[in-house]
Amino acid sequence: MQFFANVAGLIHLEMLLLQIFPGDSISWIFQIFFSLLFVVFVFYGQRIQMYILIREIEGSLLRLKFIRDEGRKIALKTIKEIGKSEVDPAERVDQFLEYVTIRPQSMDPAGIVWKLEHVLDVREERFKDEVKIMAPAADETNINNLENTLEAAAALNMIYKIIRHFYILGKKTLSLYIIMQIQMILPLIMREAEAYASALKAFSYGQPIGDGAGALVAAKLMQGRRKRKIEKDCIVAKVPIEGRIAYVIKAEGPGGNVGKPGEAIKRVIEENDGKISTIIMIDAALKLEGEKPGEVAEGVGAAIGGPGTEQYKIEESILKYKIPINAVIIKEDIGDAVSPMRKKIFEATEVAAERVRRVIKERTKEGDIIIIAGIGNTIGVGQ
Amino acid sequence: MNEETTATARRISSIVMIVIIVVLALSLSALYQAYDMFINEDPTMGYYLLIGFIGLALSTYMLLQTRRRMRRFTLKTPPITTTITCSKCGFKNVRDFERGDFIFKKLDSCSKCEGTMTISAIYREVKEKGKEHKIFG
Ligand SMILES: [Zn+2]
């Protein structure tokens, strides 16, 4: 009985379908096709979406791979050109790209600044020695530039490897969580990678970069004055400005170098027994989207980036003598900060220098001793 | 991993190309079929028209996708200019950046007078795109 009921039901269904879709087999095919499509999307929709996401990541990964390989090629070419080494530096460069730096343990954070600084010092020393072996004919400026170039190439290598890790992991596990989190931050990572790529080019040629805006302002202020070397890779010049005595500090150029301005400021403060009426720091700062590149802003506090050790040292020494600290910042985005300095930012250094003079006039009296520190990578900027 | 991926990528793209071409051919023939039916006033013409357009859209979309993937990757090199100024007479000379240039580098003496030439500026010219936000600017 059940069988007959089923058959009757099917016939009924067919008649119903024929009423809705009058005509021939084509309508049937369509009906089945769309029903199938519906079922496929209900059950496999997420999986299909996942494959689309994976393909998107794959496209970016190919681009990252290209950028990394290109970076390595440029670094290698520059080393060969400048270094004139007898042995092929390719193997050493590849080893360099894999270098790791292990950050100190922060469970008990007391004294971590000095531990971190020590690790970074060792790292820099190691890098410099490495570059000297790769490029024996390079002078001090070129060694600094090559080291910066290689560091940018290593950063690109790291970015590529991390994205590749998540791409392969996502493919293996087909976990939407892994795939989506990488896909979501991918636009920002691509921006950063492109920025590093242009940084690498600028470093290999020794061109000034946007980050060096602060150093350039200091260089302009100390033009034509006697300079002397001070604490690790920095120089200082005694400059009379508006009747005040200004110690202008910057990293020593024109090689790629940020120096240790914290150390230098501390030394100048101690040389003057803490009798500093104000410190003015000039640095490039990341702008928010919508702000114009090359905008100059003022504020207070230690305007300095990096791993934080130098900022800590400056804050420690100004606290000891209760010295007020002012900041003049030049705004730019991450791309401009590491690519060759664009005209707008170059012009902004003039505005920043003017602002520094204004701060001096408004915040100090004649005869005061002040410190002006231009922060940033001084590549391509002399003094 | 490296060579492998590129190899698979290439193999896949050739298979994809064949699929695209087949789909394109099928959808074009479906469209022709529909035209034929239109002449004969066949009511099922609409289905063929639908198939044809869906196929056409799908294949062109896939074609664009592969073309985007095959686009040559390049790293842009922006033009960098070096400005050299004479400190005495103010004579200015602008040329392309050369390796070894840096801001405040002293160069040979001026061609117009006896003053020294100094590199006064090195920067990158950026063509300003006129797509700044008008409302929130
Ligand atoms: Zn002249």
User: CB–CB of A164 and B1 under 8 A?
Assistant: yes
Looking up residue B91, the CATH number of its domain turns out to be 3.30.1330.30
**What separation in Å is there between the alpha carbon of B117 and the centre of ligand 1?**
7
Residue that finishes a domain, picked among B56, B73, B90: B73
The pLDDT profile of chain A, 383 residues, written as one tens digit per residue, is: 555 555 555 556 555 555 555 556 666 777 788 888 888 888 888 888 888 888 889 889 999 999 999 999 999 999 988 888 788 888 888 998 998 889 999 898 898 999 999 999 999 999 999 999 888 888 888 999 999 999 999 999 999 999 999 999 999 988 888 999 999 999 999 999 988 998 999 999 999 999 999 999 999 999 888 999 987 889 999 999 989 999 999 999 888 889 999 999 999 999 999 999 999 999 999 999 888 889 999 999 998 988 889 999 999 999 999 999 999 999 999 888 988 999 999 999 999 999 999 999 998 999 999 999 999 999 999 88
CA distance A171 to B118: 57
**Closest CB to A340 among B105, B124, B133:** B124
Same domain, yes or no, for B97 and B120? Answer: yes
Same domain, yes or no, for B65 and B85? Answer: no
Mutation target vs B (from A207, A211, A383; most B CBs, 10 A cutoff) = A207
pTM for the whole structure = 0.81
Same domain, yes or no, for B53 and B99? Answer: no
* Matching residue, tokens 């080893």: A95
Q: ipTM of this predicted complex?
A: 0.80
Same domain, yes or no, for B14 and B65? Answer: yes
C-alpha torsion sign, points A297, A301, A302, A307: negative
Same domain, yes or no, for B106 and B47? Answer: no
**What separation in Å is there between the alpha carbon of A18 and the centre of ligand 1?**
96
B79 touches chain A (CB under 8 A): no
Going along chain A from its start, the domains and CATH numbers come out as: 57-205 (no CATH), 210-374 (3.40.50.1470)
Same domain, yes or no, for B44 and B92? Answer: no
Same domain, yes or no, for B58 and B17? Answer: yes
Does residue B136 belong to any structural domain of this protein?
no
Contact yes or no for B101/A206 (Cβ under 8 A): yes
Same domain, yes or no, for B44 and B90? Answer: no
Residue-number span of the structural domain to which B87 is assigned: 80-124
H or E segment to which residue A235 belongs: strand A234-241
Does residue B63 belong to any structural domain of this protein?
yes
CA distance B52 to B49: 5
Q: What does the block give as tokens for A251?
A: 């990293």
B126 touches chain A (CB under 8 A): yes
Same domain, yes or no, for B27 and B88? Answer: no
Does residue B130 belong to any structural domain of this protein?
no
Same domain, yes or no, for B41 and B96? Answer: no
H or E segment to which residue A186 belongs: helix A176-205
Contact yes or no for A291/A331 (Cβ under 8 A): yes
Same domain, yes or no, for B8 and B63? Answer: yes
Residue that finishes a domain, picked among B48, B73, B98: B73
Same domain, yes or no, for B13 and B44? Answer: yes
Residue A259 burial (10 A CB sphere; 0-12, 13-18, 19+): buried
Within 8 A by CB and 6+ apart from A230, the residues are A236, A249, A264, A267, A268
A9 touches chain B (CB under 8 A): no
Number of structural domains in chain B = 2
Question: Which residues, in sequence order, are bridge partners of residue B109?
Answer: B116
Residue that finishes a domain, picked among B33, B57, B73: B73
CA distance B92 to A259: 32
Find chain B residues with C-beta within 8 A of A340's C-beta.
Answer: 78, 80, 122-124
